Amino acid sequence: MAHMPVIGRWSPRLVVSVLLGLAVVTTAGLTWETARAARSARATTDAVLGDYSTFAAWQFARESRARLNTEVAEVLAHTRRLFDGHPDTLRKPGDDCGCAPRAAVLSRFELRGGQAVRVIGEPLGADVLLLARAWRDDGGPSPMRHVEIAQAADGWQVVVLLRPQPAVPRIIGAVVDAALLTSTFTDVLASTSLLPESLVDAPSRDVFAVTVSHADGRRLFEAGTPGPIAGSAALFAGVSSLRVDASIHPDRAASLVIGGLPASRWPVALTLLLSSVVLVGLAWWQMRREVALAGRQADFVTGVSHELRTPLAQIRLYGETLLLGRVRSAEEGRRAAEVIVQEARRLGALVDTVLMFSRLRHGRVIIDRDAVDAARVTHDVVDAFRPFAAARAATVDVDLSAATGEAWIDANVFRQVLLNLLDNAVKYGPVGQTVRVVVEVSCAEVSLVVTDEGPGVPEAQTRRIWEPFWRAPGSSEGGSGLGLAIVRELATRHGGAAVVEPAPGQGARFRVTLGAAARVDVAAAVEPQPA
């Protein structure tokens, strides 16, 4: 019978990591979708503005074409009457047609068959003659009237040509100053609404920038600063080399779109994405801290279990020895009792450490100051600790030369700090070392310095040794990992500090200060002054 494969449970760390990764991916997708929607809205807006610009260019070209056609017709009509010998039939200004033109005509000419060209006014340029002859000799269905833009030495010129009778090779033409174009374009832009009045509420010259360019890119007319979105249109079929480009001024574009131009969403989207990444990174970092803390707590349970097992085994062994009467002498019985008492004290110290840490974590430690003889308390703690030091052949050297007088401190806090520092020094120092204790009392603080002869604390670990449950990597020593964390927390709550520094020669020096006040100063502050 085949067995179903067993799928192991995912670790909480892996599950949380996958969820955080999915959160980042989801945020990135939403950011991209927001940016894409903003781009789509902007593309639609640009298309609308492009259509408006194209319509404006077409409207400008249509109006300019109508006015230029009128001017060209007047120029050609006047030129034809001159060469036909009927100048007296010119009509007065204001008539429908045939009146004297307003444009500055530079030259008038006639080409008839193989005859020489007749010119009235300035001599014709070679390009104008070439253009006129080519159009005269064009036997196809050419239009009766033709307009072309020519480059002169001092600027642009407008060449207008007329074929009075399509079957007759006769051309009548004129060369007009380019001011005809610029004046016409200026008038159109000033007096014509290039968009319906329902869309704009300002003159066209304030809304649009207009440029009229030749096919080779040279500009004949330019009004305003061209915008990024433009529309184009040919001026008219007879002047195929001219193109009109119209663009909306950037500061006017928003007024032509309902709701205004869509703002770019990239800054907001990127800010949201970056914030999401930062938050996920912080969550990941916090998760790693929690996982590391959980690991240290597991090590704490293992270490405490080991610390409890050893003294309990000793107590049980020597207790059963006494109970069964297996001691061979009174001295052996006394020794067994001493071991039981020593291990019981060891258990008590461990329990006190755990309970003290629990009270600190829950804020149930109250600093109860009183007049304390720091030297006497130091002697009591060291004397009680000597049997533990003797187990590792360590000796404790005490210097109380600067610990004279009483200090206003919490005796239990001082006792717990000193005991934890001694335990840490003996546990991590070499066998047979000498641990030095120096206590100094002043009006402002009580200083406690404990120096061992161990390997010292690496600089990279000088901050981590104060963290709860933390022990040096590769350490084979037992313990709860709470001693130094309790020391710093008690020192901080007592208005002091705890630091570690290299000892002279070898080892580590732990310096703890507790905020204090001299007993005499406190008494002087509370006793009434004599009248």
Least confident stretch, 241-245, 267-271, 273-277: 267-271
pLDDT of residue 98: 43
Q: Whole-angstrom Cα distance, residue 104 to residue 58?
A: 27
**108 Cβ contact partners less than 8 Å away, ≥ 6 residues apart:** 79, 82, 83, 119, 120, 121, 172, 173, 174, 175
CB 420 within 8 A of CB 353: yes
Q: What average pLDDT does range 159-173 have in this prediction?
A: 78
Residue 118, strand partner residues: 110
**125 Cβ contact partners less than 8 Å away, ≥ 6 residues apart:** 150, 152
**pLDDT at 524 > cutoff 50:** no
Helix (H, G, I), strand (E, B) or coil at 129: helix
Token pair, residue 251, equals 């500061």
**pLDDT at 15 > cutoff 60:** yes
Per-residue burial over 117-148, b if 16 or more Cβ lie within 10 Å, else e, is: eeeeeeebbeebbebbeebbeeeeeeeeebbb
Helix (H, G, I), strand (E, B) or coil at 62: helix
Q: Which of 129, 190, 180, 187 is nearest to 155 (CA)?
A: 180
Radius of gyration of the chain (CA): 52
Q: Whole-angstrom Cα distance, residue 28 to residue 83?
A: 79
Q: Which residue has the higher pLDDT, 433 or 284?
A: 433
Task: Name the one residue in this structure whose structure tokens are 């291990």.
Answer: 343
Tell how far CA 29 is from the center of its chain: 17
Q: Which of 409, 410, 423 is nearest to 349 (CA)?
A: 423
Q: How many helices (H) and strands (E) does the chain have?
A: 11, 16
The mean pLDDT of the chain is 78
**pLDDT at 172 > cutoff 50:** yes
CB 80 within 8 A of CB 172: yes
**pLDDT at 91 > cutoff 50:** no
Q: Which residue has the higher pLDDT, 509 or 240?
A: 509
**pLDDT at 89 > cutoff 70:** no
- Place 418 in a pLDDT band, splitting at 50, 70 and 90: very high
Q: What average pLDDT does range 492-514 have in this prediction?
A: 90
Least confident stretch, 192-196, 240-244, 378-382: 240-244
- Place 8 in a pLDDT band, splitting at 50, 70 and 90: very low
pLDDT tens, position by position, 46-72: 888 888 888 988 999 889 888 888 888
pLDDT of residue 35: 78
**pLDDT at 274 > cutoff 60:** yes
- Place 528 in a pLDDT band, splitting at 50, 70 and 90: very low
Task: Name the one residue in this structure whose structure tokens are 């407008």.
Answer: 158
Strand order in the sheet with 145-152: 118-121, 105-112, 170-177, 155-162, 145-152
**pLDDT at 226 > cutoff 70:** yes
pLDDT of residue 123: 87
Least confident stretch, 39-43, 143-147, 280-284, 396-400: 143-147
- Place 508 in a pLDDT band, splitting at 50, 70 and 90: very high
**pLDDT at 181 > cutoff 50:** yes
- Place 446 in a pLDDT band, splitting at 50, 70 and 90: very high
- Place 332 in a pLDDT band, splitting at 50, 70 and 90: confident
CB 296 within 8 A of CB 470: yes
**pLDDT at 118 > cutoff 50:** yes
pLDDT of residue 441: 92
**405 Cβ contact partners less than 8 Å away, ≥ 6 residues apart:** 441, 518, 519, 520
Q: Which residue has the higher pLDDT, 141 or 461?
A: 461
pLDDT of residue 5: 42
Q: What average pLDDT does range 400-405 have in this prediction?
A: 89
pLDDT tens, position by position, 286-303: 777 777 767 666 666 666
CB 189 within 8 A of CB 210: yes
Q: Which residue has the higher pLDDT, 89 or 193?
A: 193
Locate the DSSP E strands across 113-238: 118-121, 145-152, 155-162, 170-177, 208-214, 219-223, 230-236
pLDDT of residue 373: 92
Q: Whole-angstrom Cα distance, residue 6 to residue 8?
A: 6
**pLDDT at 18 > cutoff 90:** no
Query: How many other CB atoms sit within 10 Å of the CB of residue 450?
Result: 24
Q: Which residue has the higher pLDDT, 177 or 355?
A: 177
pLDDT of residue 401: 92
- Place 240 in a pLDDT band, splitting at 50, 70 and 90: low
Secondary structure in 3-state letters for 302-365: HHHHHHHHHHHHHHHHHHHHHHCCCCCCHHHHHHHHHHHHHHHHHHHHHHHHHHHHHHHHCCCC
Most confident listed range (2-6, 25-29, 277-281, 434-438)? 434-438
Helix (H, G, I), strand (E, B) or coil at 172: strand
- Place 280 in a pLDDT band, splitting at 50, 70 and 90: confident
Share of the chain above pLDDT 90, in %: 11
Most confident listed range (262-266, 267-271, 295-299)? 267-271
Token pair, residue 79, equals 């030129």
Instruction: For 238-305, give the DSSP string.
Output: TEEEEEEEEEE-HHHHGGGSTT-PPPP-HHHHHHHHHHHHHHHHHHHHHHHHHHHHHHHHHHHHHHHH
Q: Which residue has the higher pLDDT, 28 or 410?
A: 410
